[in-house]
Structure 1
Amino acid sequence: MTNNRTSHSLREVVNIENPIFKSFEGKYFIGESDLLSFGFNNYAWGALYNPKDSGVNLYFSVTTVTNTSDLPIKSQIYLNSTIPEGATKVTSVTPSNLTILPPPKPKIIFLTGQFLNNKIQGGVKAYTRIVPPSSTLVNEENGKIIIPPGGNILNLLISSAQVLIKAHIAYGFWREEI
């Protein structure tokens, strides 16, 4: 049996993942922390905070933890916990689509901290991952976790080692106006 369709009757269809589509729209952002230090019964952390007055929902896409040490560490994800005191704002958050001028603003704040003495308070511990030595762990959620204004997602880095541990936390996320 032969196909009688001609090439002009075919229609090309392209499927793209939602994070890529959000990048086209100028709504996808990426950022990485400075090198964070912890160990000696202290913790490091990085959080995406959606300010109460942002007017957007935060769609959590991906987090990576780069463990630069020779020992494994734990990465625990918390939802809507209390942000620890002494947070530092990460200023290297950028839209992933660099063709849009002026560049869009994320409205979401990336915060970090290190040498935290206390465990995270409040919220829900969603899951724990082990990050092997000298490696990067990628955890993709692709927008399944949605954080309203006033909420946050926090990545806590833990090591029971009595040595200095260093790691980076990076995030990819998009925002949608409410």
Structure 2
Amino acid sequence: MPNKTNKQPIEVVNVSSPSLNSRRGKYFIGQTGVLNFGGGYSAWGGLVNPIDSGVNVYIDIFTITNFSNQHFISEILLNAAPPKNAAVSSNVTPTNQAFSPYQQPKAVMKYAGYSAEPMSKGVNIFDRIVAQNSTLVSDSHNGSIIIGPGDSFSILLRPPGYQHITGTIVMTWWEEAADA
């Protein structure tokens, strides 16, 4: 007798999300140190995924805080080379503090202030104006920007003039094993 249930095959989809990765201990938040710029100098902050990391980095949210009375331009770039004077941020942690010991990210958050070095390589994917005495919060990218091993996600802060400006950058991201 023929089967009359007409069951269709079920497609299984693997969906990554920040909350799922936070529960796994693989969701991270980091902040640059204080970024000072102006007088012909820019500032830079970003995530660098080392070539040997073995992970893809999924960008979720970034914020840019302007502590000054002057707006400035932020350029968002993919695969730009960090400035030579870039420092590694010590303000990086997993968002799930219940893990012991804490998971350590493979991506490295770096930053530099008072940089006269032009950005090399990379693609400027969009710009934002950061208003005075405010915080710009990016739309959640929900992992739609992915940087593989050897790649980077950068934010260049450019002053419109010579006034001294102070700011910070915060980024959230998660990491998953890179496909072989």
TM-score by length of 1: 0.88
Instruction: Report if aligned partners of 1:54, 1:149 keep a CA contact under 8 Å in 2.
Output: yes
Extract structure 1 runs of 4+ deviating beyond 6 A: none
Unmatched segments (≥5 aa) in structure 1: 1-16
Rounded Cα–Cα distance in structure 2 between residues aligned with 1:118 and 1:97: 37
Unmatched segments (≥5 aa) in structure 2: 1-15
Q: Residue in 1 aligned with 2:58?
A: 59
Instruction: Report if aligned partners of 1:41, 1:160 keep a CA contact under 8 Å in 2.
Output: no
Rounded Cα–Cα distance in structure 2 between residues aligned with 1:131 and 1:154: 16
Q: Residue in 2 aligned with 1:4?
A: none
Rounded Cα–Cα distance in structure 1 between residues aligned with 2:45 and 2:146: 17
Q: Secondary structure at the match of 2:18?
A: helix
Instruction: Report if aligned partners of 1:80, 1:153 keep a CA contact under 8 Å in 2.
Output: yes
Q: Residue in 2 aligned with 1:106?
A: 105
The Cα offsets for residues 89-133 of structure 1, whole Å up to 9 and x where unpaired, read as 001100000001110010110000011113211110010001110
Rounded Cα–Cα distance in structure 2 between residues aligned with 1:41 and 1:142: 35
Q: Secondary structure at the match of 1:81?
A: strand
AA aligned to 1:27 is K
Q: Residue in 2 aligned with 1:142?
A: 142
Rounded Cα–Cα distance in structure 2 between residues aligned with 1:27 and 1:48: 15
Residue 34 of structure 1, CA deviation: 1.5
Residue 75 of structure 1, CA deviation: 1.0
Residue 86 of structure 1, CA deviation: 1.1
What is the 5 A alignment of 1:1-178? 18-139=17-138, 140-178=140-178
AA aligned to 1:66 is T
Q: Secondary structure at the match of 1:20?
A: helix
Rounded Cα–Cα distance in structure 2 between residues aligned with 1:53 and 1:119: 26
Rounded Cα–Cα distance in structure 1 between residues aligned with 2:75 and 2:45: 11
Residue 25 of structure 1, CA deviation: 1.1
Overall identity of the aligned pairs, in %: 38
TM-score by length of 2: 0.87
For the aligned residue pairs, the C-alpha RMSD in angstroms reads 1.3
Instruction: Report if aligned partners of 1:80, 1:124 keep a CA contact under 8 Å in 2.
Output: yes
Aligned pairs, number:
163
Residue 144 of structure 1, CA deviation: 0.3
Rounded Cα–Cα distance in structure 2 between residues aligned with 1:93 and 1:108: 10
